[in-house]
A and B are shown apart, each in its own frame.
Chain A
């Protein structure tokens, strides 16, 4: 078989030489390696002060986007729920009433929208399925909770706040759609 790299070594059963059986050269070699690592740059990040940067395509906690005027994009079409392989998404649709034009972009909206973060596998199929530019996965992490019920995120946690908009422009560029 042709070798793919030049790193492979032929295994042999030859007897150890006297120097190898002494074991001391091997120990010294090991000590040299560990001492080399002693002075190497450390890979640890001091977490709360320094945070590791996520890749632009990182798939973390979801966000339900609003448009520029602050209206919710989601029309509760249910495509995300259908696409979800883990069946983590449930929703209830409602019709937009007179006077709610500033709140919802189209005539139908999600009255209830829940993602079970314990079921979710963060595959990103929901954002691929979404025809309305409404749901995105972000680089935020889902914090820990004391109860299972706490992981069922409703609209209060998913819809972005107007004073704390979440930028997904990078993500739109990097993903394939």
Chain B
């Protein structure tokens, strides 16, 4: 009876709303991640004066599907001495965790369906930033477990590198966001977005924090110039050396999901989220305004994804000691200075 009562007391409208939104987000996230793989290859090709994949459909538009089918059809090999359970768990954790951050992203202004507001955010957590950090740092478990369970020294080295790198850059990343939290006086991503209406984007107030956060995001995603965890020339692919078939694809795919997450978070924290200047003066109905705001956010996200790839095909890989030095000796002191400076300016000028 108790169980039945609990069920009856649930807000079914809210649950169905959220489930629909989850479904849409899931499809959008995976779709964008899939097409990021194509975009990456195309951008790499264009920057190297090549054309890139263009045989599967016009402009290679079907390439991600072809790649996916190919990955599924490939033989799956689990190494003989690998820890079977953890070996399978690794990519699962990596992918799941990569997708979990979407829960707190405000995708746009509320839609109005039959006069009722329909929030485009799964959960407006008041500790949104903390949640995203907690989840993002869980991602290293997938790499660590996968690398360890492979029973291969290269995988283990890659995993160790990934975890040290993530732990080091997590600190600078968190510290670089404190000035933004101070300015918005809130940890909720929606509040931070709302504080950036018009031209009040955080990138103009906190350029240093932006640079540090962006660099740390590159490091967290294990992308060049910080892809020391999967250096193919030294570590033969690092933590995913032993992986094959769809499990490998999950790792590689998870990386692109992470890139999408990072681009989203950067857009929201620094580039004004779904705001653009003059949005309120367009005289649109709330629903149209909501759609425009979603498009704005996605334009910013795509631009950031492009920048991620642009940097990948420009800057060579860092050396390991340079990476550690940059994280611990340069970024963390700079972050602390930035916090102090922000505090000083806020006390002197706003009160």
Contacts and interface: CB of A to CB of B under 8 A. Distances in A.
Interface string A34-53: 11011011111010000000
A24 B310 contact: no
A24 B49 contact: no
B51 interface: yes
Interface string A66-106: 00000000000000000000000000000000000000000
A27 B43 CA distance: 18
A34 B314 contact: yes
Contacts of A37: 46-49
Contacts of A35: 47, 310
A33 B310 CA distance: 11
B50 A42 contact: yes
Nearest to B48: A37
Interface of A: 24, 27, 30-31, 33-35, 37-38, 40-44, 46
Contacts of B279: none
Interface of B: 43, 46-51, 54, 211, 310-311, 313-315
B211 A24 contact: yes
A143 to B, nearest CB: 21
A31 B311 contact: yes
Contact of A44 (B51, B211, B311, B313): B51
A24 B214 CA distance: 13
Contact of A40 (B49, B54, B315): B49
Nearest to A28: B314
B49 A42 contact: yes
Nearest to A35: B310
Top-3 shortest CB links A-B? A44-B51, A34-B314, A30-B314
Contact of A42 (B46, B211, B311, B314): B46
A31 B314 contact: yes
A33 B47 CA distance: 9
B49 A43 contact: yes
Which one of A24, A27, A33, A38 has the highest number of Cβ atoms from chain B below 10 Å of its Cβ? Answer: A38
30 contacts: A24-B211, A27-B311, A27-B314, A27-B315, A30-B315, A31-B310, A34-B47, A34-B310, A34-B313, A34-B314, A35-B47, A35-B310, A37-B46, A37-B47, A37-B49, A38-B43, A38-B46, A38-B47, A40-B49, A41-B49, A42-B46, A42-B49, A42-B50, A42-B51, A43-B49, A43-B50, A44-B50, A44-B51, A46-B51, A46-B54
A24 B326 CA distance: 13
Nearest to B54: A46
Contacts of B211: 24
Contacts of B313: 34
Nearest to B46: A38
A43 to B, nearest CB: 5
Contacts of B51: 42, 44, 46
Given A31-B310, A34-B314, A37-B47, 7 more contacts: A37-B48, A37-B49, A41-B49, A42-B49, A42-B50, A44-B49, A46-B51
A44 B45 CA distance: 10
Nearest to A26: B315
B212 to A, nearest CB: 12
